[in-house]
Chain A
Amino acid sequence: MGLKNYIQFLDVEKRFGPIVANHHVNFSVQQGTIHAIVGENGAGKSTIVKILFGLYPKDSGQIFIQDQEVHFTSPIEAKSHGIGMVHQHFMLSEPMTALDHFFLEENPTSLLKNFFPLKRKELLEELKQLSQKFNMPVPWMELVKNLPVGVQQRIEVLKILYKNANILILDEPTAALTPQEVKTFFEQLRFLKEKGKTILLITHKLNEVMSIADFVTVMRKGTTVSTKKVSELSESTLASLIVGTELKTIEKPGYQDLSHQKITLSVNNLSLTQKNKKILNNISFEIHAGEILGLCGVSGNGQSELIQALLCPQDQDYGGEILFLGEKTLLKKTKDLRKIQVTCLPENRLKQALLLDQNALQNFLMGFQYQNNFQKNGILNKEKILEKTKNAFQALDIHPKNFDLELKYFSGGNQQKLVVAREIQSQPKLLIAAQPTRGVDIGAIQTIHQELLKLKNQGTAILLISTELSEILSLSNRIMVIFDGQIKAVLKNQNLSEEELGRHMGGLS
């Protein structure tokens, strides 16, 4: 094996406004190894590699490559130092061929050269050799849109290798791959390692770390916790390193047997298949009145699709059935579900819940415009809306108390509090609360948690979807873990260890 401190991070820090994304990041990567970086959502994994790749400038600290300090201000500089990165979203254009993308990687010596005929044959020959060398076959003349995701990924990796990169950064490379493709991909990664490449692998899947990585750096809350040799590590130690232990102080209402309560929502064998991939795989669960059911999992494992299935069943062709108070809802429209009091805090409030260019009143009305006290014969009762909005602003302490102000001028926390106030105003029978406190300050988190608990005590069934383990643990009665579109476990929230949850979230059982 090669240099011990091939890449070295020393006290790297990065802030986005008031938010600290990375601080005291310290670790080294050994040449010719596969080095995994793991951590929960928001632990700062992506940020640190984006700094390495020149996408973000760091605020302080140092980065060394082969003991030379480097400052990359753009990906182009990073590329010239032999660093390449495969983004989570591929940089591939669907109506173009795989070959086309490689012409962009050339640097023509003069502007005029751009008008000379493309040397397709030569490049194709060169690429064929490249793909043979690294054992990564690609149908070069096929349009990208006709290629499976696994092949697209290969193209992305080859784009990096074409630029003679020695350091490959892979950001969640297996997120969109089928298990079979993952297997092939890992074989190719091992092959690249043998050829002397250094690979930085960002992942949240613990089994992947165990099976392919040589070293692992664990990050938590923006900083590096430790770097270990994988062979000296057990899965459960890794899981506990990721979640940390400082969460235990939070008070939990814990488990309470609610099986005598009537069932508000029952989901049976719900499934959804897209492009031959099972996005939702036979999901079954039930929520009783007055229960908070936590759903945890790393984002992208089917949570968004589950929310869509519950709230907008008309959009897709789902298998299985959803029963709301004993009534089948899969054929219903969102409008009708809202009328029978199913409400939702969507996971992305900006895109899915708010009208940023409209004022607070309009936003408070969204989804409740048919309520009888808000309208009569289709005419809006503005006084009533104003009164209700005022009360809601008062109750949840939403600032500023200016009802004509467009919502884009409110802070994230206040925007979210408004959505919460809106969705709980009619004491819904079922509330789907997805990431209810994402990106909001501590004060708002407390308010929102209090409101959710109050609602639960009044008999609402709540499905709480969150990537924050502490939130799930402090609010839920029972906890479900979703992984790869499947419910991996349903656990009573008593004496649960974070390690146990972390293991399930990483796909281990």
Chain B
Amino acid sequence: MKKSFLGLIIGILISALLASFAGENPFHTIQVLFESAFGSSYDMGLTLFYATSYIFTGLSVAIAFHAGLFNIGAEGQLTMGVLAASWIGVLLPNLPYPLSTLVAILAALIFGAIWGFIPGWLRAYRKSHEVIVTMMLNFIAAGLANYVVLNLIKNPNTQNPESAPVGQNYHLLSHDFIQNLFTDSPANFSFIIAILVALLIHFVLDKTVFGFELKASGANEEAAHMSGIESKKFRMLAMTISGMLASLVALNEVLGSAHRFRIGFSVDYGFVGIAVALLARNNPLGIIFSGLLFGVLQKGASDLDIETEFITRDFGKVIQAILILSITVFYFSDLERIKKWMKRKS
């Protein structure tokens, strides 16, 4: 944890430095960022909304990581999940209430699971590198979603690239307390579900035989094998679960807020999920907090356009990138080696 925190601090410092290079007062930038994230209950709601999806994708990346796999396909998996939920919601608008939500969630989970199973299976039995496969599947998912949304279930009443709205019965909870707390913001009950899922994953990884075997397969495949753990099977399963976790973004997006598939809805949820998991060192409880932090960054950056002269909302991406880089360096390398390297240079 200490190392991640150090990476975080250094990343923030570098970002501030970059802002000042662009001619901005870095303190002002940070101030704008925080005001934008926490300024009003609406702002906070939006922060929570982003954080919810980040928690799901962070968990997705983390569980694959525990099994020794690198899932950069959360983006595609969540796209498939959101697609499945909105598709069902458009096709069967009149399902009765609790059933409708359950069917939508199930559809999302199945699509996500398939999108995780494919790279998992390919890795286990055809030795294909999961990184490249998941990367390609991201694009395939985007293409498929585009096709379905624009050709099959397009919203006829708008020029926006989005699907028709799902039936009323698909709304997660008509007025949950989170919506009441952050009026008009897209924040919704999914945030609570995200936390519950994080707790569940924590429980599974920490307290069950299944979680133990999954982690053992990731930590040392050969030793796991000698201990009678079928590592291949666990890696495949981990990737499938990873896809399902990412697909839960559908809860937040389709059932909780937008109630439709908006093309381009994802603000890099999948990729930022990597950073979220890294910062939390793949600890599911830590992911709740790092998800919140990245939610703050995402929302905070959105007002940089208006409030500063040069910095745009995309500066949020720059901060994300720098954070990922600095956390990675501290995560993977032992500090001794970096110190030695710096000493040799100077």
Complex: A in contact with B (CB within 8 Å): yes
Which A residues lie at the B interface, using CB under 8 A?
Answer: 311-312, 333-339, 344, 346, 351-358, 362, 365-367, 369-370, 375, 378-380, 382
Q: Is the CB of B226 within 8 A of A370?
A: no
Q: Which of B210, B212, B215, B230 contacts A335 (CB 8 A)?
A: B230
- Give chain A nearest CB distance to B125 CB in angstroms: 15
With both chains docked as a complex, state the minimum distance between the C-beta of B235 and any C-beta of chain A, in angstroms.
Answer: 15
Check if B208 sits within 8 Å of A380, measured CB to CB: yes
Bound Cα distance from A366 to B227, whole angstroms: 6
Whether A365 contacts B225 by the Cβ 8 Å rule is no
Pick from B208, B210, B223, B230: contact of A366, CB below 8 A: B223
Which residues on the B side are within 8 Å of A362 (C-beta)? 212, 215-216
CA gap between A106 and B213 in the complex, in Å? 51
Chain B residues with CB under 8 Å of A333's CB are 228, 230
Q: Is B229 an interface residue (CB 8 A)?
A: yes
What are the residues of chain B within 8 A of A344 when measuring CB–CB? 226
From B208, B209, B228, A334 is in contact (CB under 8 Å) with B228
For the complex, what is the distance from the CA of A312 to the CA of B224, rounded to whole Å?
Answer: 12
Does any Cβ of A come within 8 Å of B222's Cβ?
Answer: yes
From B212, B219, B222, name the one whose CB has the most chain A CB atoms within 10 angstroms.
Answer: B212
The secondary structure that dominates the B interface is helix
Which chain B residues border A382 with CB–CB below 8 Å?
A: 207
Residues of B within 8 A of A380 (CB): 207-209, 212
Given A335-B229, A335-B230, A338-B227, A369:B220 Cβ within 8 A: no
**A339: nearest chain-B partner, CB-CB:** B228
A10 CB, min distance to chain B CBs, angstroms: 35
A351-B223, A358-B219, A366-B216 given; A378·B228 CB < 8 A? no
**Among B210, B220, B228, B230, contact of A355 (Cβ-Cβ < 8 Å):** B220
A355-B216, A355-B220 in contact; A367/B227 too (CB < 8 A)? yes
Given the known interface contacts A335-B230, A379-B207, A380-B207, the answer about A369 and B223 at a Cβ–Cβ threshold of 8 Å is no
Complex A-B: 9 CB contacts under 8 Å? A334-B225, A339-B228, A366-B216, A366-B223, A367-B227, A369-B213, A369-B229, A370-B209, A382-B207
Give Cα A352–Cα B223 distance, bound, in whole angstroms. 4
Closest chain B CB from A410 CB (angstroms): 15
In whole Å, how far is A433's beta carbon from the nearest beta carbon of chain B? 14
Q: CA–CA, A379 to B225, complex, Å?
A: 21
Determine which of A336, A346, A357 lies in contact with B226 in the assembled complex, contact meaning CB atoms within 8 Å: A346
Smallest CB-CB separation from A357: which chain B residue?
A: B219
List residues of chain B with CB within 8 A of the CB of A366: 216, 223-224, 227
- CB-CB contacts of B165-200 with A at 8 A, as 1s and 0s? 000000000000000000000000000000000000
Min distance, Cβ B333 to any Cβ of chain A, angstroms: 15
Q: Assess whether B207 is in contact with A334, with CB atoms less than 8 Å apart.
A: no
Q: Tell me, rounded to whole Å, the shortest Cβ–Cβ distance linking A430 to chain B.
A: 14
User: Quick one: which of B207, B219, B226, B229 has the most chain A CB within 10 A?
Assistant: B226
Residues of the B chain whose Cβ atoms lie less than 8 Å from the Cβ of A312: 225-226
Given A362-B215, A378-B208: A335 and B223 interface contact (C-beta under 8 Å): no
Given A378-B208, A380-B207, A380-B208; A353-B213 close (CB under 8 Å)? no
Of all chain B residues, the one with the shortest Cβ separation from A385 is B212
Q: A333-B228, A380-B207 are in contact. Are A353 and B223 (CB under 8 A)?
A: yes
Closest 10 CB pairs of A and B: A367-B227, A335-B228, A334-B228, A338-B228, A355-B219, A366-B227, A369-B209, A378-B209, A352-B226, A375-B209
Q: List chain B residues, Cβ under 8 A from A338.
A: 227-228
16 extra interface residue pairs, beta carbon distance < 8 Å, beyond A311-B226, A351-B220: A334-B227, A338-B228, A346-B223, A351-B222, A353-B223, A353-B226, A354-B223, A355-B215, A358-B216, A358-B219, A366-B223, A367-B227, A375-B209, A378-B208, A380-B208, A380-B212
A369-B209, A378-B210, A380-B212 known; A352+B222 contact, CB < 8 A: yes
Q: Whole-angstrom distance from the CB of A14 to the nearest CB of chain B? A: 24
The CA-CA distance from A338 to B220 in the complex, in Å, is 18
> CB-CB < 8 A to A335: which residues of B?
228-230
A180 to chain B, nearest CB (A): 33
Contact B226 A354 (CB under 8 A): no
Contact (Cβ within 8 A) B227 A354: no
Query: A355 — which chain B residues lie within 8 A by C-beta?
Result: 215-216, 219-220, 223
Nearest opposing residue in chain B for A362, CB measure: B212
Chain B residues 249-291 with CB under 8 Å of chain A are none
Q: How far is the CA of A365 from the CA of B225 in the complex (A)?
A: 14
| B215 partner residues in chain A, CB cutoff 8 A | 355, 358, 362
